[in-house]
Amino acid sequence: MKELTYDAVVIGGGAAGMAAARELDAAGCSCAIVEREERLGGILGQCIHNGFGLIEFNEELTGPEFAERMEERVRGTGVAVYTGATVMEVDAAPEIKSLFCYSASFGVIRLNARAIVLAMGCRERNRGNIRIPGDRPAGVYTAGLAQRLVNIEGFVPGRNVVVIGSGDIGLIMARRMSWIGCKVHAVVEILPYPSGLTRNIVQCLHDFGIPLYLSHLTTRIIGRERVEGVEITPIENGALMHEKSFVIPCDTVLLSVGLVPENELSKDAGVELNPMTNGPVVDSMLMTSVPGVFACGNVLHVHDLVDYVVEEAKRAGANVARWLKGERPQAEARIKAGPNVRYVAPSRADPSRDNKIYLRSLVVKNEASLEIRVNNRVVRTVKKAHIQPSEMLSVDLSRADLATCSGSPDPTVEIALA
């Protein structure tokens, strides 16, 4: 077994992994990326639509173009890259951690490092997660799988399509299937508001005349050998109105019912997970409950834009470099989600530095206010023109905001929406 040693190893070669590795290299740390696919880029390679890079590169790019730009940055550094290699086991020992990787090209490799960066991204929820009744006919796909079949493999999964869930991938695939000549009969969403970004509702549904059924539940998938239709039931005042159920004939169902951080390796390493995000609990340095193990990007919490993934991963890489050099926060304030906030990440802030906090709303509202409360006292209010659960929010916590934390035995920062 080949054995190699680095200051840090990044698991995952998507946008987050590449951004974190580049920061580590820039700080003078030896670093390696392990990616199970044959090339870097992650899911970006199959996202041929534009809308990427407006923040990171100040121009609109497709997913493959964004990935190529990020890969060029990495290739110009000393970062070692192992593609086609799968991490099967992590030994998160206190001093030197080990990753056991299996690869058709490299064989079995043991990578040793003082620090590990978790950047494995996220995966789609499938039919088993939402338990739609019916048989198991052909023609049921996750939206991401259909995206790969169409954009990478060149296959058309079906001709008459219903999309279940209004997540961004599903909305984009509704448009993509229309472009290749398929008929998208409907997008069905259980919630009373869309789960995807507003721009995707407009560009992918409204522009193509695709109906969006809000507050509707898919109660049955019809068909034995191949999908023949879906039964849709309206929800009124929280109750299913079975007498108003109707059937939409189709031969293909695409599921866009949410993303889940990919944290099997994190659990194996003993990392504590946040039940609200299904990602690791991290401190102000984005370090998990296991010392020397850090997390960033969609493995930490699901982002809505890849530009924000890169933004967070850059901070993670810089923090890992600081940690490797012995820097530690002298004190931290606990951050908690207040009214109308689903979660905050990270869950700790360093009062001696400026901090970036991400959060998700629980409500849809215009003319909202974001309040920062330190030890139950409002220190700053930020006006928001519009908030909704599908769009991630961020707030900068400055040293001035956290000034009252000094001297407090257990300082707490609460972020609330009103």
What would the pLDDT profile of 12-39 be if each residue is shown by its tens digit?
999 999 999 999 999 999 999 999 999 9
Domain boundary among 328, 355, 381: 328
Q: Are residues 130 and 116 in the same domain?
A: no
Q: Are residues 263 and 251 in the same domain?
A: no
**What 3-state DSSP class applies to 119?**
coil
The whole-chain average pLDDT of the chain stands at: 95
- Is the model's pLDDT at 80 over the cut of 80? yes
- Is the model's pLDDT at 406 over the cut of 80? no
- Is the model's pLDDT at 106 over the cut of 90? no
Q: Are residues 106 and 158 in the same domain?
A: no
Q: Are residues 67 and 165 in the same domain?
A: no
Domain boundary among 328, 350, 368: 328
Q: Which residues contact 368 (CB under 8 A, 6 or more apart)?
A: 361, 383, 384, 385, 386, 387, 417, 418
Split into its structural domains, the chain has a count of: 3
Q: Are residues 11 and 62 in the same domain?
A: yes
| pLDDT at residue 1 in the model | 85
Q: Are residues 18 and 75 in the same domain?
A: yes
Percent of all residues in the chain with a pLDDT value above 90, rounded to a whole number: 94
Q: Are residues 69 and 98 in the same domain?
A: yes
| Owner of token pair 């990495």 | 74
Domain boundary among 328, 343, 364: 328
CA dist., res. 318 & res. 332, Å (int): 18
Structural contact between residues 363 and 417, judged by C-beta atoms closer than 8 angstroms: yes
- Is the model's pLDDT at 408 over the cut of 90? no
CA dist., res. 338 & res. 234, Å (int): 32
Q: Are residues 120 and 262 in the same domain?
A: yes
Residue span of the structural domain in which 355 resides: 332-418
Q: Are residues 100 and 217 in the same domain?
A: no
Q: Are residues 263 and 252 in the same domain?
A: no
CATH number at residue 164: 3.50.50.60
Supply the DSSP string of 48-82, one letter for each residue.
-SEEE-TTTTSS-EEHHHHHHHHHHHHHTSS-EEE
Q: Are residues 274 and 179 in the same domain?
A: no
Average pLDDT estimate for 159-170: 96
CATH number at residue 355: 2.60.40.10
Q: Are residues 218 and 272 in the same domain?
A: no
